[in-house]
Amino acid sequence: MEATELAEVFKALADPTRVRLLDHLSRSVSGTACACHLPESLGISQPTLSFHMKKLHDAGLVTREKRGRWVHWTVRPEALARAVAYLGLPAHGIPAGGACC
């Protein structure tokens, strides 16, 4: 994952509403949720949902599938796994044990 892509992922995850949305989606039985149910479940408006889901989609954290009138959202676990893996790596130039001094 490139630095620009990682930055977009972390920017998307920097908002509590988006973190709640990802958590809700990942806990759903099929890993997918209809946009018609999300506003009520999370106590947000439909326009707010659309705004935040677009940010998550643009960051590559979710996919969308149009089914009739509604969009169904699904978490992309591989995108989250890459971000988590990045956080597990030592910083460039710093030994894995911590500070260099």
Pick one of 3.40.50.1000, 1.10.10.10, 3.40.50.300, 1.10.287.130 as the CATH number of 3-87. Answer: 1.10.10.10
What's the pLDDT score for residue 96? 53
Cβ proximity of 76 and 21 under 8 Å: no
CB within 8 A of 62, min separation 6: which ones?
22, 25, 53, 56, 73, 74, 75, 76
pTM of the model: 0.81
Segments making up each domain of the chain, as ranges: 3-87
pLDDT in tens, 50-94: 999 999 999 999 999 999 999 999 999 898 888 888 888 555 554
Q: Provide the pairing of β-strand 70-75 with 32-34.
A: antiparallel
Q: 34-49: per-residue pLDDT in tens?
A: 999 999 999 999 999 9
The position carrying tokens 């947000």 is: 44
pLDDT tens per residue across span 16-28: 999 999 999 999 8
Contact 32, 70 (CB under 8 A): no
